[in-house]
Structure 1
Amino acid sequence: MFGEVLRASGGAERLAFTLVDKFGEKRAQWALGLTGFIVAIPVFLDVALVILIPILYSLAIRTRKSLLYYGIPLLAGLAVAHSFIPPTPGPIAVASVLGVDLGWMMLFGVIAGIPAMIVAGPIFGRYIGNKIHVDVPEHIKEEEERKKANNEEGKLLPSFGMICFLILSPLVLILFNTTGGILLKEGIFKEVVTFIGHPFVALIIATLLSMYFLGKRRGVTKNEMQSMTTKALEPAGIVILITGAGGVFKEVLIESGVGDAMGELMASSGFPLVLLAFLISTFVRVAQGSATVAMITAAGLISPILDMTELSQPMLALIAISIACGATVLSHVNDSGFWLVNRLFAMTEKDTLKSWTVMETIIGLVGFFVVFGLSFFIS
């Protein structure tokens, strides 16, 4: 609901327009990477890309650069947040299966995600944009020409500060809960912080704030808001189904004894748990395609092993992010994201493999190396 209200109000466009304007055309890649990183926290990757791709078209037409020059940084930001940062479905589900505190997962997701976004986004985007020239489709060029005379659309968008406040508010509340649990003494204040910082409550607060500031105050009627929020629930069914199936899979592994057998087998391999989580997740990702399904399946497979050991919350969070890294690499033809990018950018399958697939693999590998390095300092 939060993401749909943000989309319908034009909040994502305002964020992108403002950041590109502030960074300047020469540093637009960095602005687009940051935009993707922020927008994909409340909005699904595919929806966010459809919302923001007109900005890529405009930049590519204006500068005559390859669409990939600007598209890869945006895609990198979207992919990192989609895989690494709660409250997107994959990280939330993995955290639930492994029993990871979302605050720790969010913290390490950002620490691993930012370097991954920088390398796979602006750096790789500049390289591949110069190697492969992807032109803007002709019908888009004609449409852009027709829109040039009309500058009123930007005036109707919500303010940049308001959008940042709404997107960051649930994340800040969740982080307050995590830090408060460590730093605050028992008492009413700690109970209040714990309550409002619970992911469910934090997201409800953010959703209600978005309904008020981006809905009621901007003249959206009750019927329009009801229609908007009802539509937002459509993709929730499949997410609940996948998450529930992941939980069932985990319990079947535990109760049947397969989990213990796998745990002993993998434990005897001598691989560190962070590396083991990455390898399992990568295997599932390549085999079936969906990053979210790969994350939940890998979490179910490694969960019985973790139950055999005593691990701290920070270490569990590192393992969860390692799973996310493995579920990101090697996106190919059995991944819906591959075809979404292929069609919106009007590329051949070969060019999509050279750009999108390589970008996803860079994100997963850079994120994993960061997490693997941190695992030596955290017990």
Structure 2
Amino acid sequence: MPAVHGSLLLLYALIAVIALVVLIARFKLNPFITLMVVSILLAIAVGMPIPTIVKSFETGVGGALGHIAIVVGLGTMLGKMMAESGGAERIARTLIGFFGPKNVHWAMMCVAFLVGLPVFFEVGFVLLIPIAFNVARRTGTSMIRVGIPMVAGLSVVHGLVPPHPAALLAVTAYNADIGRTVLFALIVGIPTAVIAGPLFARLIEKYVVLSGENPIADQFVEQEAANAGRALPGFGITLLTVLLPVVLMLLGSWADVIAAPKTPLNDLLRLIGHPDMALLLAVLLSFYTFGKARGFSRDSILKFTNECLAPTAGITLVVGAGAGFGRILMDSGVSTAIVDVATGAHVPLLLLAWLVAALIRVATGSATVAMTTAAGIIAPIAAAATGTRPELLVLATGAGSVVLSHVNDGGFWLIKEYFNMSVPQTFKTWTVCETIISVTALLLTMGLATVV
């Protein structure tokens, strides 16, 4: 056990976070190296046993990259194939034509909200980021104005709406009705996404101006000359390829409805519905729909899939290091100290659920960990209390779980690297966006509690 406890432990954690921000933003140190060094120094400072420090960091990195590395790799390949074939251009043109060039930020929010329903945030992000890059390029719009509504839509459904695993676990913990939970989540989530997405993006794009150079975007954005003299793929086949992972994951989540549990069909649906498998199958399909069917040779397809991975190496390492830092915070006892502070406060149940989830989120960097842990803490208190709908407790807990994303959150670094932002710019955009989502969803949930 760490030798430091209580408020001193929280102080050390705060100093570590400030040190990360200063070293990366002010002194321009490599984020991966900085995260690793600060994590180890924090662990030593709070008195974690020396033999466990590196293992703890590795556990955090491995736990994150076991999922993130596969998702980023396969999602990048799918995006690259879509860009090279003209599929991204086709979707961009169709979206612009339907919503109009002035309303592309609304288009991206709507698409993200729908695509994000059955998928994890990271999966939805890598599916949609090529489209966002192309829409921004086609309309001459800032990536802030296009990208922030996209990540806002994804984050809202990730935090509030079943069938996301964390939300489903909270539904079970609180013994809530899933149908009413989904209904209430949409009532709260849609206006929340509007405020944190298109409205916030229009405001913040005036103050955050991104560099014109973005090596990640160059992997996905087609050059105008590449489209000259060749037909683009159809909108239907493009949408089918891009949304195949979403469809497969929906089938996986409905496996018990379609087939009896533990039957071969049920097992097959669960297999193809796993995010990694769903993305793999979509990439394989794209080799035909975006590759062979568009006249590309096997050598060309191999070249595309190889060259698109190099720019993602840094992203993957930084996301893993962020998770490693989060694990050090957990194993050092910061999470426990935060929970003790939250549960000791005498506040209304909805606010308490939000507060516990929010503090765990700030400490660990994981919305899923925050939501599931907070639900486990609050559920016994809720069972002994009366007057609060369990469905609203799910929403309050989910709202708290997305607040104040910062340097210990893999999503923070994912957004920073893909958008090619500095750390301060990421705080001004992504962190504020997440906090707007959290606070707005809490206020709307509390308002809903007065009428249902």
- TM (normalized to structure 2)? 0.57
Choose from 130, 135, 141 the match for 1:65: 141
Q: How many angstroms does 1:101 deviate by?
A: 2.2
Q: What are the residue-to-residue correspondences of 1:100-249 with 2, within 5 Å?
A: 100-139=176-215, 140-141=217-218, 144-145=222-223, 147-149=226-228, 152=231, 154-155=233-234, 157-158=236-237
| Whole-angstrom CA distance in 1 between matches of 2:343 and 2:137 | 57
SS of residue paired to 2:222: helix
Q: How many angstroms does 1:117 deviate by?
A: 0.5
> More deviation in 63-72 or 321-330?
63-72
Q: How many angstroms does 1:311 deviate by?
A: 6.0
Choose from 103, 108, 130 the match for 1:54: 130
Q: How many angstroms does 1:348 deviate by?
A: 0.5
Choose from 31, 37, 52 the match for 2:107: 31
SS of residue paired to 2:162: coil
Aligned partner letter, 1:132: V
Aligned partner letter, 2:228: A
Q: How many angstroms does 1:58 deviate by?
A: 2.1
Partner of 1:371: 445
Cα RMSD (Å): 4.3
Aligned partner letter, 1:324: G
Change in Cα spacing, 1:170 to 1:138, as seen in structure 2 (3 Å) is closer
Deviations 1:206-239 (A, max 9, x none): x79xx9xx8999998xxxxxxxxxxxxxxxxxxx
Choose from 422, 425, 429 the match for 1:348: 422
Q: How many angstroms does 1:68 deviate by?
A: 0.6
Choose from 169, 174, 179 the match for 1:98: 174
Contact 1:61 1:141 in 2 (8 A): no
Contact 1:263 1:305 in 2 (8 A): no
- TM (normalized to structure 1)? 0.68
Q: How many angstroms does 1:197 deviate by?
A: 12
Partner of 2:379: 303
| Whole-angstrom CA distance in 2 between matches of 1:265 and 1:319 | 19
- Identity across matched positions, percent: 34
Contact 2:108 2:150 in 1 (8 A): yes
| Whole-angstrom CA distance in 1 between matches of 2:424 and 2:343 | 41
Contact 1:328 1:364 in 2 (8 A): yes
Is structure 2 residue 168 aligned with structure 1 residue 89? no
| Whole-angstrom CA distance in 2 between matches of 1:332 and 1:215 | 31
Partner of 2:303: none
Change in Cα spacing, 1:111 to 1:165, as seen in structure 2 (3 Å) is farther
Gaps of 5+ in 1: 178-193, 221-258
| Whole-angstrom CA distance in 1 between matches of 2:343 and 2:123 | 42
Q: How many angstroms does 1:361 deviate by?
A: 0.5
Contact 2:169 2:372 in 1 (8 A): yes
| Whole-angstrom CA distance in 2 between matches of 1:163 and 1:68 | 23
Contact 2:173 2:376 in 1 (8 A): yes
SS of residue paired to 2:205: helix
Q: How many angstroms does 1:48 deviate by?
A: 1.9
Aligned partner letter, 1:109: A
Deviations 1:298-328 (A, max 9, x none): 001101112213567xx11111010000111
Partner of 2:405: 331
SS of residue paired to 1:333: coil
Q: How many angstroms does 1:100 deviate by?
A: 1.9
Contact 1:61 1:136 in 2 (8 A): no
Change in Cα spacing, 1:274 to 1:169, as seen in structure 2 (3 Å) is farther
| Whole-angstrom CA distance in 2 between matches of 1:144 and 1:57 | 10
Contact 2:342 2:359 in 1 (8 A): no
Q: How many angstroms does 1:66 deviate by?
A: 2.2
| Whole-angstrom CA distance in 1 between matches of 2:286 and 2:422 | 42
Deviations 1:163-206 (A, max 9, x none): 999969999xx9xx9xxxxxxxxxxxxxxxx96699998x959x
Contact 1:338 1:352 in 2 (8 A): yes
SS of residue paired to 2:368: helix
Partner of 2:38: none
Contact 1:94 1:320 in 2 (8 A): yes
Change in Cα spacing, 1:157 to 1:75, as seen in structure 2 (3 Å) is same
Change in Cα spacing, 1:133 to 1:198, as seen in structure 2 (3 Å) is farther
Partner of 1:238: none
Aligned partner letter, 1:323: T
Q: How many angstroms does 1:52 deviate by?
A: 1.7
| Whole-angstrom CA distance in 2 between matches of 1:15 and 1:102 | 33
Q: How many angstroms does 1:24 deviate by?
A: 1.5
